[in-house]
């Protein structure tokens, strides 16, 4: 067990530092890249918060859908193959719900401000 | 004076009736293509110009770009077909020592997608833009195929196969992409009317004027022959609606208006299902391009934060795909 601050706290404060103290000093391309950098750190902060719960729920859904077990990556590869070959389809019980839930979980980490994600929230899909 | 400036100066005197060039400035471009702005002074006054250039030794790495001579030829054909485009002023030959390049007129207006969608300057003209885009495409697709320079031919099945192989090489699973590939295979359009396709007709590549609308269709480097409905689908991809998700055409307009403009000019009835096929494929394409840009970071070719972070934007296209093919 590491001591405090937590990884999340460290990344949060670096992002804050970039936004509040570095960004105002920069211009042009450098300013743009610093903003991209701060946004990238914020992705990590959200991922550290959400991934453990989201990933274990995703794993559980996948084992049920596929009837097999393995790492999250193995299972996603298996799902990919099954969807491409048509072995599993949108008609498959629980499949559509799984894809929506998984995609929304990814967006909530990657790009929670994305228009389609906000629309899904408004529609109560999350 | 830089070598580029010297060579341009020569060209301006010999071919553009200018006395001198001024204000040469690099606008944008990656490693393979450059865009410069400059102005010339002639007896008729000052004129602002744009230089498009692939430096010697530079070239297109993606295998999809048409080449600058081809691009210039297409812009000239488009102008003759009354598509709003810049005027091509000079196409360089090897003796000019500039690599592959051409010079065209500077067009005033706004090409930044977010500004077209949000700036109050465009409030009045905005409702007219989708129809105008349809009209421009109707004219562009009417260019007789036998007049075209040699172009990559990429009908639906070819496009699909290409992106499938890029995705497979990436190796990381995106189940929603596989769902989309399957959907596209099941909805593949049958017969194709072979036409010139702009290939990158979207909000961001069109110069708009706040008073009269479409001022010029830009960025012809991805032009090819294929299904003309590809262009109508591509401009509807949510990735270039700049947050304005309820206005499918570029974040500024309605599909019906674009289709009406297209039909009025071309006399060809638009099949919305066929356009949807291309919107789905376009969305998937952009998602796969995001993973390709991440690959450029991973390989060490481009170690910028931007290249790395863009990999995390492929999930945006996944939710867009779900809305398109699995919404209900």
For residues A35 and B328, give the distance between their C-alpha atoms in angstroms, rounded to a whole number: 37
Chain A CB within 8 Å of residue B173 CB:
yes
Query: Are B283 and B320 spatial neighbours (Cβ–Cβ below 8 Å)?
Result: yes
Give pLDDT tens digits for B85-143: 999 999 988 788 787 889 999 999 999 999 999 999 999 999 999 999 999 999 999 99
Task: State both tokens at B62.
Answer: 């993606």
Q: What angle do CA B145, B146, B147 make, to 5 degrees?
A: 90
Which residue does chain A place closest to B304, by CA atoms? A33
- Are A36 and B305 a contacting pair at CB < 8 A? yes
Mean pLDDT of chain A: 97
DSSP chain A: ---SSPHHHHHHHHHHHIIIIIGGG--HHHHHHHHHHHHHHHHHHHHHHHHHHHHHHHHHHHHHHHS----HHHHHHHHHHHHHHTSS-TTSTTHHHHHHHHHHHHHHHH-TT-HHHHHHHHTT--
Q: What pLDDT, on the 0 to 100 scale, is given for residue A90?
A: 97
Chain A CB within 8 Å of residue B182 CB:
yes
Chain B CB within 8 Å of residue A23 CB:
no
Q: What angle do CA B33, B37, B40 make, to 5 degrees?
A: 135
Q: What pLDDT, on the 0 to 100 scale, is given for residue B194?
A: 86
> Where does chain B have alpha helices with state H?
3-15, 68-80, 113-118, 126-140, 156-170, 175-186, 229-234, 255-266, 272-298, 305-309, 314-325
Query: Are B313 and B289 spatial neighbours (Cβ–Cβ below 8 Å)?
Result: no
Q: What pLDDT, on the 0 to 100 scale, is given for residue B63?
A: 55
Q: Looking at the complex, report in whole angstroms how far the Cα of residue B308 sits from the nearest Cα belonging to chain A.
A: 9
Q: What pLDDT, on the 0 to 100 scale, is given for residue B61?
A: 45
For residues B253 and B246, give the distance between their C-alpha atoms in angstroms, rounded to a whole number: 9
Share of chain A above pLDDT 70, in %: 100
Query: Are B105 and B51 spatial neighbours (Cβ–Cβ below 8 Å)?
Result: no
Q: What pLDDT, on the 0 to 100 scale, is given for residue B58?
A: 53
Query: Are B162 and B222 spatial neighbours (Cβ–Cβ below 8 Å)?
Result: no
CB atoms within 10 A of CB B246: 9
Q: What pLDDT, on the 0 to 100 scale, is given for residue A74?
A: 97
Which residue does chain A place closest to B175, by CA atoms? A80
Average pLDDT of the residues in A77-97: 97
- Are B243 and A81 a contacting pair at CB < 8 A? no
CB atoms within 10 A of CB A14: 15
Chain A CB within 8 Å of residue B244 CB:
yes
ipTM field? 0.96
CA A84 from centroid of its chain's CA atoms: 23
Q: What pLDDT, on the 0 to 100 scale, is given for residue B107?
A: 96
Q: What pLDDT, on the 0 to 100 scale, is given for residue B57?
A: 56
Q: What pLDDT, on the 0 to 100 scale, is given for residue B64?
A: 62
Q: Looking at the complex, report in whole angstroms how far the Cα of residue B15 sits from the nearest Cα belonging to chain A.
A: 35
Per-residue pLDDT tens, chain B, 328 aa: give them: 788 888 899 999 999 989 889 999 998 755 567 899 999 998 888 999 999 988 765 544 455 666 889 999 999 999 999 999 999 999 988 788 787 889 999 999 999 999 999 999 999 999 999 999 999 999 999 999 999 999 999 999 999 999 999 999 999 999 999 999 999 999 999 877 789 999 999 999 999 999 999 999 999 999 999 999 999 999 999 999 999 999 999 999 999 999 999 999 999 999 999 999 999 999 999 999 999 999 999 999 888 999 999 999 999 999 999 999 999 8
Best CA proximity match to A58, nearest among A74, A44, A40: A74
Query: Are A75 and A88 spatial neighbours (Cβ–Cβ below 8 Å)?
Result: no
B-chain residues within 8 Å CB-CB of A110?
A: 312-313, 315-316
Torsion of CA B39, B40, B42, B45, to 10 degrees: 10
Count Cα atoms within 13 angstroms, Cβ side, for B131.
9
């Amino acid at each position: 067990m590491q001591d405090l601050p937590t990884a999340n706290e460290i990344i949060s404060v670096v992002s804050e530092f970039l936004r509040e103290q570095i960004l105002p000093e920069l211009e042009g391309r450098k300013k743009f890249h610093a903003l991209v950098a701060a946004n990238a750190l914020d992705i990590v902060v959200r991922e550290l918060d959400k991934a453990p719960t989201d990933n274990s729920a995703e794993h559980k859904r996948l084992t049920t859908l596929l009837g097999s077990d393995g790492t999250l990556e193995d299972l996603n590869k298996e799902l990919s193959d099954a969807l491409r070959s048509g072995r599993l389809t949108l008609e498959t019980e629980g499949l559509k719900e799984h894809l929506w839930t998984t995609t929304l979980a990814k967006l909530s980490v990657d790009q929670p401000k994305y228009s389609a994600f906000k629309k899904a929230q408004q529609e109560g899909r999350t | 004076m830089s070598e580029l400036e010297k060579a341009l100066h020569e060209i301006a005197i010999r071919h553009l009736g200018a006395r001198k060039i001024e204000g040469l400035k690099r606008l944008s471009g990656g490693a393979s293509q450059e865009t410069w702005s400059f102005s010339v002074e002639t007896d008729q006054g000052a004129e602002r110009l744009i230089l498009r250039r692939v430096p010697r030794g530079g070239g297109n790495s993606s295998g999809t770009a048409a080449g600058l001579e081809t691009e210039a030829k297409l812009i000239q054909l488009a102008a003759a077909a009354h598509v709003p485009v810049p005027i091509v002023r000079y196409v360089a030959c090897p003796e000019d020592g500039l690599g592959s390049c051409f010079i065209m007129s500077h067009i005033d207006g706004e090409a930044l997608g977010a500004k077209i969608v949000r700036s109050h300057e465009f409030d009045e003209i905005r409702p007219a833009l989708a129809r105008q885009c349809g009209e421009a495409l109707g004219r562009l697709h009417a260019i007789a195929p036998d007049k075209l320079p040699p172009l990559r031919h990429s009908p639906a099945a070819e496009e699909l196969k290409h992106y499938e192989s890029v995705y497979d090489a990436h190796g990381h699973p995106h189940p929603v992409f596989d769902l989309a590939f399957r959907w596209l295979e099941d909805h593949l359009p049958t017969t194709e009317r072979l036409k010139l396709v702009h290939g990158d007709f979207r909000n961001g590549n069109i110069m708009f004027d706040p008073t009269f609308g479409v001022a010029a269709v830009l960025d012809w480097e991805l032009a090819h022959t294929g299904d003309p409905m590809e262009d109508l689908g591509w401009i509807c991809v949510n990735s270039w609606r700049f947050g304005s998700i309820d206005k499918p055409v570029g974040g500024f307009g309605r599909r019906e208006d674009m289709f009406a403009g297209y039909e009025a000019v071309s006399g060809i009835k638009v099949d919305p299902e066929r356009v949807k096929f291309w919107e789905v494929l376009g969305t998937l394409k952009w998602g796969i391009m995001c993973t390709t840009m991440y690959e450029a970071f991973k390989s060490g070719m481009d170690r910028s934060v931007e290249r790395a972070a863009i990999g995390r934007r492929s999930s945006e296209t996944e939710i867009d795909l779900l809305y398109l093919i699995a919404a209900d």
